[in-house]
């Protein structure tokens, strides 16, 4: 066999992706400053300048997580790696773990427990409903030897938010450590690691942090560190062994562990700096403000939310697909993508074909995207024969923005007095 037989038959050119408006479940759009940071020169992962940047990155992550945990850093890999990092370190073979499942990602937690050799005690809630603290309490009473409680704070598959502070409190009352999935919540709505007394938490770089995919910020408190160090068996993953990663991300040492994704870490540093400059509370408020406008417009189109008010994530809006076009829902998404360069998400699992998931996360969360989404979606639905009047959704969103601005102005005046 000669080399020419191994060459691709198709002529391959440089890859240039189209410019999309990303309003799905992730990734989100990336700020030009973050894109520019990714293009900076690569340097060694033990270079003193890079090490200094790593320390700043850890400090910025502590701010966004609202924690003083020393062990707060980004794991090299997507949010799924952050999830596995928590379970593989905290769950030993034979351990009982109570997992609250109300969507796709609670199910993945169960899978992680089983692969770590643990036994999953599953607390079920309906998809679209928050995790029920009373059900968790009942499960812990029946299983007093449970070592860990795990739940998803912001379930990406449904757009529901659970009461993390209460769930953690219930777990601690029964002497169980907690693992919290904050993949979609971090920087989009409050995540208060110290105030809520969360033991272990993980997130992802590509959602409300608006960074390139491939990094998973994690944070362990001292209870978890002591728990992991006290284990008699060897952690079942070399790459995600907390004890080994401490040698690279620790406060005083820098020993080689793996080749860090330097340019992605530059990007995360810049993305977190953008949040610091905006102010974390302002970042949460921006997501809420744009959610209210999007909600007003979607409801003006006749679309109803899956999740009850009070448990909705502002950054992940799940709406029921009208019955009349459920058999054509993929066509709606395809048309939005092909004609408007706009991406929204489909439903998963039992909600496949029943809901759309519209994400307004990070840099994607801005009024021009809200208005484009409403205009484009309204146009497609109208063309399909639904009773959607062009302009009504946009007018409802504008009215919502005006009310919000008026409320904010009144608050400023009141604060000056």
Model pLDDT for residues 323-371, shown as the tens digit of each residue:
999 999 999 999 999 999 999 999 999 999 999 999 999 999 999 999 9
**Predicted confidence band of residue 45 (pLDDT cuts 50, 70, 90):** confident
How does pLDDT run across 178-211, given as a tens digit for each residue? 999 999 999 999 999 999 999 999 999 999 999 9
Determine the pLDDT at residue 4: 66
**Predicted confidence band of residue 2 (pLDDT cuts 50, 70, 90):** low
Q: Average pLDDT of 141-169?
A: 98
Using CA atoms, how far apart are residues 143 and 146, in angstroms rounded to an integer? 6
Determine the pLDDT at residue 305: 98
Model confidence at 223: pLDDT above 90: yes
Place of tokens 């809520």: 196
Model confidence at 70: pLDDT above 90: yes
**Predicted confidence band of residue 260 (pLDDT cuts 50, 70, 90):** confident
Using CA atoms, how far apart are residues 345 and 327, in angstroms rounded to an integer? 16
Determine the pLDDT at residue 410: 86
Model confidence at 227: pLDDT above 90: yes
Taking the alpha carbons of 288, 167, 108, 250 in that order, is the dihedral positive or negative?
A: positive
Strands (E), 118-173: 119-124, 148-152, 154-155, 160-161
CATH number of 32-276: 3.40.640.10
The residues spanned by each domain of the chain are 32-276, 279-416
Model confidence at 258: pLDDT above 90: no
- C-alpha distances out from residue 28 to 40, 204, 205, 209, Å: 21, 11, 10, 8
Q: Average pLDDT of 16-43?
A: 97
**Predicted confidence band of residue 252 (pLDDT cuts 50, 70, 90):** low
Q: Is the CB of residue 29 less than 8 Å from the CB of residue 362? A: yes
Determine the pLDDT at residue 10: 83
Strands (E), 107-147: 119-124
Model confidence at 388: pLDDT above 90: yes
**Predicted confidence band of residue 283 (pLDDT cuts 50, 70, 90):** very high
Q: Average pLDDT of 4-25?
A: 87
Q: What is the mean pLDDT of the chain?
A: 95
Determine the pLDDT at residue 253: 63
Q: Which fold has domain 279-416?
A: 3.90.1150
Model confidence at 1: pLDDT above 60: no
Query: The whole model's pTM is what?
Result: 0.95
Q: Average pLDDT of 395-402?
A: 98
DSSP 8-state code for residue 28: P
Model confidence at 251: pLDDT above 80: no
**Predicted confidence band of residue 3 (pLDDT cuts 50, 70, 90):** low
Q: Average pLDDT of 24-52?
A: 95
Highest mean pLDDT among 235-239, 260-264, 293-297: 293-297
Backbone angles phi, psi at 52, to 5 degrees: -65, -40
How does pLDDT run across 59-68, given as a tens digit for each residue? 999 999 999 9
Q: Average pLDDT of 68-83?
A: 96
Determine the pLDDT at residue 190: 98
* Omega cis (within 30) before 27: yes
Strand partners, 2: none
Using CA atoms, how far apart are residues 156 and 213, in angstroms rounded to an integer? 16
Contacts (Cβ under 8 Å, ≥6 apart) of 106: 99, 100, 151, 152, 155
Nearest to residue 228, comparing CAs of 159, 147, 167, 158? 147
Q: Average pLDDT of 301-312?
A: 97
Model confidence at 94: pLDDT above 90: yes
Nearest to residue 204, comparing CAs of 80, 32, 346, 57? 80
Write out the two tokens for 71: 């062990």
Nearest to residue 87, comparing CAs of 192, 227, 257? 227
> Who wins on pLDDT, 250 or 119?
119
Write out the two tokens for 237: 């993953």
How does pLDDT run across 162-181, given as a tens digit for each residue? 999 999 999 999 999 999 99
């Amino acid at each position: 066999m000669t080399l020419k037989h191994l060459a691709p038959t198709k002529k391959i050119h440089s890859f240039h992706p189209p410019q999309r408006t990303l309003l799905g479940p992730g990734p989100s759009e990336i700020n030009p400053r973050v894109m520019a940071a990714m293009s900076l020169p690569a340097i060694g992962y033990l270079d003193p300048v890079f090490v200094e940047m790593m320390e700043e990155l850890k400090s910025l992550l502590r701010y966004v997580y609202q924690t003083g945990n020393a062990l707060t850093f980004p794991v090299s890999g997507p949010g799924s790696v952050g999830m596995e990092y928590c379970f593989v370190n905290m769950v030993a073979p034979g351990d009982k773990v109570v997992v609250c499942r109300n969507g796709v990602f609670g199910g993945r937690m169960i899978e992680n427990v089983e692969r770590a050799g643990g036994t999953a005690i599953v607390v079920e809630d309906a998809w679209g409903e928050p995790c029920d603290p009373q059900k968790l309490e009942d499960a812990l009473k029946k299983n007093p030897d449970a070592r860990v409680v795990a739940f998803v704070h912001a379930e990406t598959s449904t757009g529901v938010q659970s009461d993390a502070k209460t769930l953690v409190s219930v777990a601690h009352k029964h002497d169980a450590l907690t693992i919290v999935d904050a993949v979609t919540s971090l920087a989009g709505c409050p995540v208060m690691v110290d105030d809520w007394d969360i033991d272990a938490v993980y997130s992802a770089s590509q959602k409300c942090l608006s960074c390139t995919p491939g990094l998973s910020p994690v944070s362990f408190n001292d209870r978890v560190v002591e728990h992991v160090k006290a284990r008699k068996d060897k952690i079942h993953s070399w790459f995600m062994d907390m004890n080994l990663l401490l040698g690279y991300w620790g406060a005083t040492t820098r020993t080689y562990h793996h080749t860090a994704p330097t340019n992605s870490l530059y990007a995360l540093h810049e993305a977190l700096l953008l949040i610091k400059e905006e102010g974390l509370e302002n970042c949460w408020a921006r997501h809420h403000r744009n959610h209210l406008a999007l909600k007003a417009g979607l409801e003006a189109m006749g679309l109803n939310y899956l999740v009850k008010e009070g448990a909705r994530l502002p950054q992940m809006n799940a709406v029921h697909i009208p019955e009349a076009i459920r058999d054509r829902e993929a066509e709606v998404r395809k048309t939005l993508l092909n004609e408007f360069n706009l991406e929204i998400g489909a439903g998963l699992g039992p909600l496949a074909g029943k809901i759309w998931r519209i994400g307004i996360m990070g840099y994607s969360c801005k009024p021009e995207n809200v208005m484009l989404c409403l205009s484009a979606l309204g146009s497609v639905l109208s063309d399909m024969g639904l009773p959607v009047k062009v302009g009504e959704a946009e007018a409802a969103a504008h009215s919502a923005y005006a009310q919000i601005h008026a409320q904010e102005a009144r608050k400023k005046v009141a604060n000056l007095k």
